[in-house]
Amino acid sequence: MSRQSSDSILLFIMRHGEAEALRRDDKSRNLTSFGCAQAVSTSKWLVKYTPAQQIDLALVSPYQRTRQTFDMMTVDNKFSDMEVCDDIVPDGDVHIAHDYIDAILSQSRYKGLDSLLLVSHMPFVSYFTDEVCRSHRSALFATGSVAVIRYNVRRHQGELIEHYQGQ
């Protein structure tokens, strides 16, 4: 881990791949085969931002489909660390999640962090992107899509670089 500059990281905010229809509780929904393919496609696309194919930390919602999406992301990228995070569920509080990321980035064990992937759900990913970029666009995230944000650690604010809509 060696931070790109002394005050910024790349923050990837991703919506899980396509999930099966709701047949039981929402937390247990699995990815479809298309959803798995979306996650692999996004993983391949992210390599342009991670030339060493290394992402330092992943925060993943505890729902089945996000955990499966993360598993598919490991096809083309390596992760130094992964944490299941209860704050990034569909109706999670974006302010609490933003504070949590800032707290992580202030810890000495993450001082050299260059990149962080967050795998979550709509509408959380949309509202969280607005929160960290201090915008009010509420962009829609297709399944398997990812926003790339240059996040200034000192200012606690990001700038949207690109929004990949997936396949």
- Asked if 47 and 53 count as a contact pair (C-beta separation under 8 A), the reply is yes
Higher-confidence position of 138 and 141 = 141
Q: What DSSP letter does each residue of 66-116 carry, written as one string?
A: HHHHHHHHTTT-EEEEEEE-GGGSTT--HHHHHHHHHHHHHSGGGTT--EE
Higher-confidence position of 3 and 73 = 73
pTM value is 0.94
Mean pLDDT of the chain: 93
Tell me, what's the pLDDT at 111? Answer: 82
Q: Which range has the worst mean pLDDT, 40-44, 130-134, 138-142? A: 138-142
Q: What is the pLDDT of residues 71-105, one digit of tens each?
A: 999 988 999 999 999 999 999 999 999 999 999 99
Calculate the alpha carbon distances from 147 to 23, 78, 114 in Å.
29, 19, 16
Residue 5 has pLDDT above 60, yes or no: no
- Asked if 65 and 125 count as a contact pair (C-beta separation under 8 A), the reply is no
What phi and psi, each to the nearest 5 degrees, are found at residue 37? -65, -40
* pLDDT band at 1; cut points 50, 70, 90: very low
Q: What is the pLDDT of residues 106-136, one digit of tens each?
A: 988 888 899 999 999 999 999 999 999 999 8
For the record, the structure tokens of 41 come out as 């496609």
CATH architecture for the domain at 8-16+27-164: 3-Layer(aba) Sandwich (3.40)
Query: Can you tell me the mean pLDDT for 29-41?
Result: 97
